[in-house]
Structure 1
Amino acid sequence: MPFARPVRAVRSAALLALAALVLSACGSGEAADPADTAAVSLTNCGHTVRVDAPPERAVSLNQGTTEIMLSLGLADRMVGTATWTDPVLEGLEDENRKVKRLADNAPSFERVLDEDPDFVAASFVSTLGKGGVATREQFEKLGVPTYVSPFDCSGKKNHGNGDGSREEPLTMDAVYGEVRDLAQVFGEEERGEELVASLEKRMSEATKGIDASGVTLMYWFANSGSPYVAGCCGSPGIMTRALGAKNSFDDSHEEWPQINWETVADRDPDVLVIGDLTRKSQTAETAEKKIEFLESNAATKNMTAVRNKRYVLLSGQALNPTIRTVEGVERIAAALREYGLAG
């Protein structure tokens, strides 16, 4: 569930700095040698992304893109990150400490420009859109290429104030495609293929021989008043299909529809997959608070999963389509086996 802040105007100082840079380049009298460049051009969510050389001052505006870039060894070429829901992915702590955090949530447009970025990436259309940090066009007018995770535009409609709906089920190919795109932009294709191969191997090992047919899962991201639960076709859909299980709300194509607790109780899932978030923008963000609510609320305390304490705790990033989706498959598979619900 992405964060958003109103767009602020570009500071005149940023524009003056850009103009000075352009004039300096024009007056140098030295033509660029095409052989010395590593230009990359790709189509991304209806935009052409072109970089004439691998970025050296990249900013990532969502944790998902940040963790991919850190996994590709790009910390030394990043000047800022933002919008965090969880601690950084285990194993990336040292790399993450090298990069300035511009904001825990969404930074202002001018705060990003302060870092003089030469590339800006985000996981969500809403982050680089109206009501977000800034639109892609605003960055591109300043000569800054932008990139949005393909999962948030391919086969998906982003509408209203919600998280959109999917016309077709998401697959891991969208995540692998993002890894390859970012690796190409930074000239690190080999590292990109190594990361994809590692994720594919983990998916294969996690699902080998598992059969969870007949098991129903419900994914609760946030909010105790009117919970956001997973619809059929986002990242939780990848996990559910990989394990042969059934999502209690697979009749909804909304990414994260809000459902009342009476309806949740009627569906009575066998297992509850619970988002364990560290942010503080909704009620019952942590898994501890969610479980406390489930076990005390009259509408939920007699549900099968609650009575049997069948919980699987996942980070917010694992519930979004990211490289952590694989972690979600691994943890749910292990829990289903522990609960005796899958072979």
Structure 2
Amino acid sequence: MPFAPPFRSAVLLVAGAVLVAGCGSGGAPAPSGAKAEGTAAGRPVRLDNCGQRVEVGSPPRRAVALDQGSAEILLSLGLADRMAGTATWTDPVLEGLEKANAKVPRLADRYPSFEKVLGAEPDFVSASFLYTLGKGGVAPRERFEELGVPTYLSPSDCVGKDNSGDGDGVRTEPLTMDAVYGEVRDLARIFGVPERGEKLVGELRARVEKARTGADFGGASVLYWFSDSRGPYMAGCCGAPGIVSDALGVKNVFDDTKEEWPQINWETVVDRDPDVLVIADLTRRAQSAESAAKKIEFLESHPVTRNMTAVRKKRYVLLSGQAMNPTIRTVEGVEKVAAALRAYGLAK
């Protein structure tokens, strides 16, 4: 996309200053599963990130998070004062981060233009999904790198995942929370606050353990519906909903597909007849039946779905979209599904 030459110079100057500054806090061990190296002082930080070499000379001061999941990690690490913008939101911000988030400009509710992002003069760009940093999203990573702006992509969308086909990709191996924990540690290290990253990871781990302690939901079947009523997107075996299922020992009725979010017709859904429906309550307006209210209205009025066990018994679990994506809020998914299963008398 074209942009004015004077602004290009400004971006190069800002990014170049970041890459050569070389100052920062003390070093930290490389996150599990990531290849990283640095100087004795911990700078520059170098990462092999989703097949791309990333080098960040000094802690970013004008970071842009292109997806909500990435933004909420940075906000949870107390980095609002070092953020120049966020974009691509599906839900209200994570509870407790409202004040911090209000200080950061929202460049767009969905994908901002490449020019809009450059207008924020970023010295670092992060994203949760490969599509965001690719054709059809904001821009390929190479376009930022050409301007000296380092980029970071969540490992949860590339490690053990094939994104070469259509749709939302195929998992070649099950996702685990380790990928999310690794992302937290990577970003904390890039920003020179590794101790904050370890603290956040510790808190998330403790919440998962608490939610699953004493839980025996064996035999309960669950379906995860993210969006769209015409061609509904249901969770396959091995993405973030798989983390929830594995943590609680429940069966995803579509665990026989490795597609991240396959579109499945309602006749097939009815045939699987899950005990519980986990449905995303989205605030975006991209497709049909985004909110939980619209989804439930559809389920209870449609002649094909209204006689499903979960619909007749009103066994619904409402989650944010981010809780059904591989983010720090996947932990929220574990907690809420566990609480609902207990409330519905499905715990043994």
Separation of aligned partners in 2, 1:272 and 1:19: 49
- What's the secondary structure of 2:335's corresponding residue? helix
Equivalence for 2:102: 97
What runs of 5+ residues in structure 2 fail to find an aligned partner? 24-38
Aligned in 2, Cα 1:10/1:156: closer, same or farther, shift over 3 Å? farther
1:110-129 pair list within 5 angstroms:
110-129=115-134
Q: Alignment partner for residue 168 of structure 2, among 163, 171, 175?
A: 163
Q: How far has the Cα of 1:129 moved from its partner?
A: 1.0
Aligned in 2, Cα 1:72/1:20: closer, same or farther, shift over 3 Å? closer
Separation of aligned partners in 1, 2:5 and 2:127: 25
Q: Alignment partner for residue 328 of structure 1, among 320, 328, 333?
A: 333
Separation of aligned partners in 2, 1:70 and 1:31: 24
Contact 2:21 2:57 (C-alpha < 8 Å) held by counterparts? no
Equivalence for 2:317: 312
Contact 2:185 2:198 (C-alpha < 8 Å) held by counterparts? yes
Which letter maps to 1:198? E
Which letter maps to 1:83? T
Separation of aligned partners in 2, 1:90 and 1:80: 19
Deviations 1:216-261 (A, max 9, x none): 0000000001100000000000000110110000001000000000
Taking structure 1 as the reference length, the TM-score comes to 0.93
**How many pairs does the alignment contain?**
331
Separation of aligned partners in 1, 2:42 and 2:205: 32
1:5-44 pair list within 5 angstroms:
8-18=1-11, 38-44=43-49
Which letter maps to 1:175? V
Q: How far has the Cα of 1:42 moved from its partner?
A: 1.0
- What's the secondary structure of 1:253's corresponding residue? coil
Separation of aligned partners in 1, 2:325 and 2:340: 19
- Determine whether 1:200 maps to 2:205: yes
Which letter maps to 1:282? Q
- Determine whether 1:47 maps to 2:52: yes
Q: How far has the Cα of 1:12 moved from its partner?
A: 2.6
Q: How far has the Cα of 1:48 moved from its partner?
A: 1.2
Separation of aligned partners in 2, 1:31 and 1:170: 36
- What's the secondary structure of 2:126's corresponding residue? strand
Separation of aligned partners in 2, 1:107 and 1:165: 26
Equivalence for 1:228: 233
Contact 1:276 1:315 (C-alpha < 8 Å) held by counterparts? yes
Taking structure 2 as the reference length, the TM-score comes to 0.91
Separation of aligned partners in 1, 2:121 and 2:15: 14
- What's the secondary structure of 1:218's corresponding residue? strand
Q: How far has the Cα of 1:19 moved from its partner?
A: 5.9
Separation of aligned partners in 2, 1:22 and 1:102: 19
Q: Alignment partner for residue 249 of structure 1, among 246, 254, 257?
A: 254
- What's the secondary structure of 2:267's corresponding residue? helix
Separation of aligned partners in 1, 2:347 and 2:213: 12
Separation of aligned partners in 2, 1:125 and 1:255: 13
Q: How far has the Cα of 1:35 moved from its partner?
A: 9.1
Percentage of identical aligned residues = 66
What runs of 5+ residues in structure 1 fail to find an aligned partner? 1-7
Deviates most, 271-280 or 123-132: 123-132
C-alpha RMSD of matched pairs (Å)? 1.9
Equivalence for 1:272: 277
Contact 2:280 2:319 (C-alpha < 8 Å) held by counterparts? yes
Separation of aligned partners in 2, 1:163 and 1:300: 25
Q: How far has the Cα of 1:160 moved from its partner?
A: 3.7
Q: Alignment partner for residue 143 of structure 1, among 139, 148, 156?
A: 148
Aligned in 2, Cα 1:21/1:81: closer, same or farther, shift over 3 Å? closer
Separation of aligned partners in 2, 1:97 and 1:267: 43
Contact 1:11 1:110 (C-alpha < 8 Å) held by counterparts? no
Equivalence for 2:306: 301
